[in-house]
Amino acid sequence: MAERRGKAERAGTAGYWPLVLAPLAMLAVFYLYPLAQVVWLSFTVPQPGLANYALLFTNPAVQRILWTTSRICVVTTAITMALGYLVAYVILHVTRRTEAWMLFFVLLSFWISILVRAFAWVALLHSRGVVNTLLMDWHVIGQPLALVRNELGVVIGMVHYMIPYAVLPLYANMKGIDARLVPAARGLGASPATAFLRVYLPLSLPGIVGAGILVFIFSLGFYVTPAILGGGKTVMIAEYIALQVVETLQWGLGTMLATSLLVIIFLMLALMARFVNPRRMFGAA
């Protein structure tokens, strides 16, 4: 009986292999192979060796792009996490109906094209846009503020895009926190601030770290928003890679930067897995 059952289980498992191998084959052909080509070109064009990677330490233009990208990503992540934590906390502590509506509006941003959102921010922030017009009509400013074609405009557009990526993991993590712990701390004499800082905040730390790394990783690869809101004056690494590959045809430099970016992302994912349990981050008990 046990033998027949084992054979049946092995037969059932064997039936799943074609379903697994088909997507794996497509992944290898359409993703892993092109990725391997990019890595190969970074070491072989224009000549074999590590000359392209030496540019990370010797080329002022590359170093400037890396510094600009790092600075914008850090600022974007910090602002996004502050706003995302506040939104997630509020969603968790409102009525069911309000919670549903707030989650709907958070998810709604996923359905709007990033291109549409970027041009919407241009319409709002440029010198004759809605923001400057209102501020001048209210006599708050005497001349238009420079809100686009600079880092400020890029950060605003990126934060707007990234907020859902912070809210949803934080909300899922907070959902797994026992709601009785903070009232219990209050009952033992802790003030609201103390109960939050010493009980709730440490329990939500996995969500904070995980969501922060997730937002930072997505920020590293931004292309459309910096290209539109930066106006060519604020160039991040993704736009610089596209420039090297498409216009200047410096394939070695472009693929080296793409490979370096990929390595950084994998390292950050490994760091997140090292210090944060992904199951806890997304709210598992």
Same domain, 83 and 205: yes
Q: Any residues with CB less than 8 A from the CB of 260 and at least 6 apart, and which?
A: 53, 56
pLDDT digit string, tens, across residues 259-277: 999 999 888 888 777 766 6
pLDDT digit string, tens, across residues 118-177: 999 999 998 888 999 999 999 898 899 999 999 999 999 999 999 999 999 999 889 988
Which residues span the domain enclosing 35? 1-44
Same domain, 58 and 161: yes
Helix-then-strand count for the chain, H and E: 16, 0
Same domain, 277 and 248: yes
Same domain, 29 and 147: no
Is pLDDT of 12 > 60? no
pLDDT digit string, tens, across residues 34-88: 889 999 999 998 889 999 999 999 999 999 999 999 999 999 999 999 999 999 9
Closest among 140, 136, 118, 139 to 127, alpha carbons compared: 136
Give the CATH number of the domain where residue 164 resides: 1.10.3720.10
Same domain, 35 and 149: no
Same domain, 73 and 196: yes
Mean pLDDT of 107-113: 84
Same domain, 98 and 5: no
What whole-number distance in Å separates Cα of residue 263 and Cα of residue 284?
29
Q: How confident is the model at residue 208 (pLDDT cuts 50, 70, 90)?
A: very high
Q: How many domains does the chain have?
A: 2
For 223, list phi and psi in degrees, rounded to 5: -130, -55
Closest among 158, 150, 149, 147 to 75, alpha carbons compared: 158
Burial class (CB in 10 A: 0-12, 13-18, 19+), 44: middle
Q: How confident is the model at residue 285 (pLDDT cuts 50, 70, 90)?
A: very low
Same domain, 242 and 259: yes
Same domain, 110 and 181: yes
